[in-house]
Each structure stands twice: as structure tokens, then as C-alpha cells.
Chain A
Amino acid sequence: MAKAGRYTIPLADVERIDAAELFSISGEQRKAVRAARPRLMLMALIFAFGYSVLMVRSISLTIFDHQSVSVKSRVVAAIRVPRAKLTDRNGGLLASSIETYSAYITRANIRNAERLANQLSAIKGLASEEILRARLEGKKGRARIGHRLTPAIRDAIFSLGLPGMKFVPELTRYYPRGQFAAHVLGWVNADGKGPAGAERAFEEKLLDKNTKTLALSLDTRVQFALESELQTAMEEFRPEAALGIITNIKTGEVLAMAGRPTFSPNAPGKASPRERRNRAATDRYELGSVFKPLTLAMGFDQGLIEPDELFDVVRPLVVSTKQINDMHRSRHKMSVREILVKSSNKGAALIALKVGGKKQRQYLADFGLLDAAKIELKESARPYMSTRQWRAVKTATIGYGHGITVTPLAFVQAMGAVANGGHLVPLTLLARPPGYRPEGRDVISPKAAKTVVGIMREVVTRGTGKNANVEGYDVAGKTGSAEKLDPKTGRYAKDRNISSFVAIFPAYNPQYLVFILLDEPKGDVHTSGWETAGWNAAPVAGRVISRIGPVLLPLAKRTNLMASNVEKNP
């Protein structure tokens, strides 16, 4: 029997059967096929669509999309480090971003938290056993073992072979020299932003992918000398605070800037705001007698005074209702020279009154003292004056450095103009190329400037600044001992001084300026109990110049400067 589906056909009849007829359908079968055809078409279309999608995706993966099958580069520590390095002017590294790690462990993998804490605490650089135990306790989630871990610490943890460990790479801003130049550099917070210092001032440049290194104007050798002497001054004179600034007069570059107390930018959170504050930029002071050279400069520039012109400082001087006194009463009239050398408040007030309030205000504006110092630091503060009205008493008191509070940076910028032949240049924290001469403005005549510097030299050779004299460097300077205003009483406190000293060297051809300020220094047996600048700020400045002089102005260079000065002034 032959079988055809469920139909059985006798073999004898197979030859007589027509295949077409055999497999033809009719009647009910035909109706059934017709009814099923649309459904079959639909199924065919669905499968065709599905296979088409698979085919297209296969082609896409094979030909176009290669990333999903290639080895991806490491994400976080990319080839380009996100924040550029900071160096000093000679390429010495001050700040850079390094790869560190955060280490985590899944708590479910911890069998004995106490034992694990004991194991981990033995690794140098991790927290103490108590802290680690507190972090490891619990059943759920992940415990952080540490963050900002160096590769060495990571390797030490890894070698313990702990299950459930995870290391997350991250970039950390690191300052390899610790507290060195902390106030200039600033720091970077957890968001990766710089809230102060150069990190804030140059944020955009540092994050620019085209910037690999940013050279600051600082000179490590000069910065170190300044920091060392400020530290010694803190121990010697026990002030509340101390600061110093050293600049290149011609270019405005800040070669050194430091303050005490200080902090480590690697751990800014551990320092107080008092320690983190860059007083040179943020704090305003009534600087006192260091202002007097500016008053003389105004008088000379106006042609109102001569170096040997006499002023009556014997009689009492009362301006409005304010009596102006000298620390040491003079029994004879003083020349303009003597007014600066002996630091007479009366003499300076008289000169200021001769210049007049209107002119004085204009000069202060030209010296940049009515505005924040022109430097990249965002925290550079504006000056403060007690009253907007410019009466005679204000003119007189500003003449000897009271009645106006300015930041040390603003004052240094102004004095730099006097030292630079009357030409004011903005201060900068960026290293400039050799021969660079910034754009500035003329404030006083070169003759007036030279006269003032010459008299400042006499302050050091025979006046209150003798302790700042350094053989061979022709130091010119001025002391300043200003009583601090007690905010509670509104009166000046006799036992609380701001001692400062501004030095310019060499006087015959000024190149560098040094400014030292001590906030409430204490006298001792070595100072015969005196707290005035001649006994503290001046010798500190002298020691700084002794250390930086051979570095910045070796003999050969000094000889050249002397020769060029002789050529200009035969």
C-alpha cells in the first residue's frame, strides 16, 4: 500500500494516479487554505522583519561600530591630566595632579571587622585601628578604607588579598613641598576648584587642555629665604602674624610672598581660616610711617619742597581738633631729609597739607592706592578709608600713613613706582621672559623718585633703618610703627603695633623691593624692650637681603648696575 498523507492508496492503483490530481485540493480544503493564507503571509512578514533587523545589526556591528569590541582606554586618569602643573620661575615643581585611589570593601565580605581593622592599620598612610573599625562595622553596603591613597598604599592593601576590595582611581592635587609658598599657591577643594591663590587666579588656564605647565614668578631660593626669616621672626618677636613680599621693581614680578601662620595645601581642611588667609592680599592696615616716602614723592613731584627745606616741627601741630605728635619731640626745625630720616609725623603732615587734599587724592589714585592691587589674585582687597570726605585732618593724617588702610600688596605696588623712577607697573604672579617690560603709567617724575630713594638710603645709613643695612647692597628703606586701632574702643592702642619696613636695593639703581610686616611684635632684652620697626621689621628685612642679595645680585651684576648708573648720571 502506498501512503499519501493520511490517505492510503492501494499500490496497484498508484500508476494510474495523476500527481497533480493527487495533490490538488478542492472544496473544504481549498477554503481552509484560502482562510489561512493571510495568516501565513503575516507570519512570513514578521519573520522577515526580524531577520532583517538581525542582519542589519550584524552588518552594523561588523562594519561600523568597533568601539564595543575594542579595549577601552582608562577613563579617569586620561592621557591629558585635567589640571596643569604649577612651577616656580626656574621650573621647580610646586603643584601637580597625581593618580591616587579610594579603597572600598563590601561589608558582606568582612568576616571579622576587628581583625581586618588591625591588619589595615598596620599599613602606613591609613587611618588608625579605631577609625577603621568604625568604618568596617555593619552588614550592608561598602566601607571606605581610605581615599587619596598612593599607589604604594594601594599595592599594600591589594597584597592582603581581601575579597570584595575595590579601588577607584582619582586625580588628586598634590603640593610636594608642603607649606612652601602655601598662600601664593592656594589649594584645590573637593570639587576640583581653587578657592584661593594661584589655583583660583589661574583656574581657566590650569584647566585648559593646551596648558601643561604654568610657571609662576616665584623664585624658590628667594621664597625659601623669606619663609625662613619670617619663621625666625615669629620665634624671636612673637607677633600675632608676619608677612613678607619681594618683587622685581622693573617687571612687577612677585619673587616671593609668604605669611605666618601658614598651612599645608595638602590638608587645607585641617587649617583655620586665620592660617589660610593670605594677609598680604586680604588684610588692610594703617601702615604708618612707611607711607611718608609717598608723601615726600608728591611734594617733590609738585615742586613744592626741596630736600633741605626746613619745616617747623617744634610748635604743636593741631589740624581741626586733632593734635599731631612726634614720637621724639624735636627742638629744632627739620629739613625734608630729616623729616624722613627721623620719621616726623608733624613734618609729613605739613608736607601733605602743602600738597593739598585734592592733589593728594589724585596721587593716591595714580599710585593705585584707592583700588585693589593690580595682581591676578582674586582675593586682593580694596582699601578702606574711614570717611569719604577729604578734609584737612584727613590729608594730614594720610601724610604719615593713618586714615587710610591698604593691603601690603597695594602698598608694595605703589612703592615700586617710587623705586622704578616714578613708573608704576602692575604686580604679577606669572613668570615673565627676560627683558620683559610691562605697560604701566608714570606717576611722578624720575627726578622726584630718585630724590626720595636717595633720602630713603639715608634712613638706612643714619636713621631708624640702620638694622637693615647690608654691606655692598646700598639698601634704601623706611620703617613704619603704627599703633593699631582697637575696634572695641575706637582708639589707638599704644601697646599694639604694626611694625613694617620697606627696602629698595640697590639704591643707586633700584632692582628689588622687600617689604616686611609684623603684626603686634613683642619687645625683649635684645630689643631693649622696644617694639618699633627699627628693632624688628628692619633687621628681618636686612637678614632677608643678606640671603637673597648674593642670589639676585651677585657682584658682577652689581658692578654692571653701578657702571650703568654712572653712565646715566656722570
Chain B
Amino acid sequence: MIRAFYVLASVVTALLALALYVAKTEAQSAQQRIARMENGIISELSQISQLENELAYLERPERLEALSRVHLQLRPLSPEQDMTFAQLSGQHLGSNGAVLAGKARP
């Protein structure tokens, strides 16, 4: 009787130890996957940061202004160009883009 009990207890203990081992191994695998994902996130965030900085560098106002002048022939808006449609009718544009009053010609 006692011997049977000992045998049963030993088997149960062994099974429990095995179950614990399996659970622990799976948990470790999951942790490793998480750590790899975290490293991946860090890497992506670092790249995003690099790109943001590159974008800010490319968007420097002096660079955009120079490109606008060369490729689009645009100039900074002057106060004279800011007007309503009603004001625009009957107006003429001068050589510098400014609106000339009345019927004056450039």
C-alpha cells in the first residue's frame, strides 16, 4: 500500500515537473520573440527618426525658396497681391506681379 502510494506520488511529481518545464520553455520562447520584436521596433523608430530629420532638412525654408525661384518662378507673396476678386476685376498686373490700379498698363 505504502509502496503503491510512493510510486503514484513519484509519477505525479514527474508529470508536474514535465508540465512545468514545458510551460517555462514556451514562456521563454515567447519572451525571446517579444525581445526580437522590441529590437525591431527600436530599429524602425530609429529609421523613422532618421527620415523625419532628412525631411526637415529637405524642407529648409531657404532651400524651398531657392527651388521655387528656379523651377516655379515663384516669389514671396507681397501685400499688393493680397486682394478680393472684386478688387481684382479691372486691375492689371505689373512686371513684378503687383497689381496696378485702374486702367494703367505695365
* Interface set of A (CB-CB < 8 Å, partner B): 62-63, 66, 69-74, 77-79, 81, 92-94, 96-99, 150-151, 174, 176-178, 180, 220-221, 224-225, 228, 470-473, 546-547, 549-551, 554-555
Contacts and interface: CB of A to CB of B under 8 A. Distances in A.
A99 B46 contact: yes
A81 B60 contact: no
A565 to B, nearest CB: 19
A71 B49 contact: no
Contacts of B55: 93
Nearest to A72: B35
25 contacts: A62-B21, A66-B28, A71-B35, A72-B35, A73-B42, A74-B42, A77-B42, A79-B42, A93-B56, A94-B56, A96-B52, A96-B53, A98-B46, A98-B50, A177-B57, A177-B60, A224-B61, A224-B65, A225-B76, A472-B79, A472-B80, A472-B82, A546-B79, A550-B78, A555-B83
Contacts of B78: 546, 550
A78 B79 CA distance: 49
Given A71-B32, A73-B39, A73-B42, A176 B53 contact: yes
Which 5 pairs show the lowest CB-CB distances between chains A and B? A176-B56, A224-B61, A93-B56, A71-B35, A176-B57
A257 B98 CA distance: 29
Given A73-B42, A81-B49, A97-B49, A550 B56 contact: no
Contacts of B50: 98-99, 150-151
A288 B20 CA distance: 84
Contacts of A79: 38, 41-42, 45
Nearest to B63: A177
B41 A63 contact: no
B84 interface: yes
A471 B79 contact: yes
Contacts of B77: 550-551
Contacts of A551: 77
Interface string B51-79: 01111110111100100000000001111
Interface size of B as a range: 35 or more
Contacts of A70: 28, 31-32, 35
Contacts, number: 94
A492 to B, nearest CB: 38
A73 B31 CA distance: 11
B31 A66 contact: yes
A225 B78 CA distance: 12
Contacts of B35: 70-73
B57 A550 contact: no
A555 B42 contact: no
B28 A69 contact: yes
A289 to B, nearest CB: 27
B27 interface: yes
Contacts of B24: 62-63, 66
B57 A554 contact: no
Contacts of A81: 45, 49
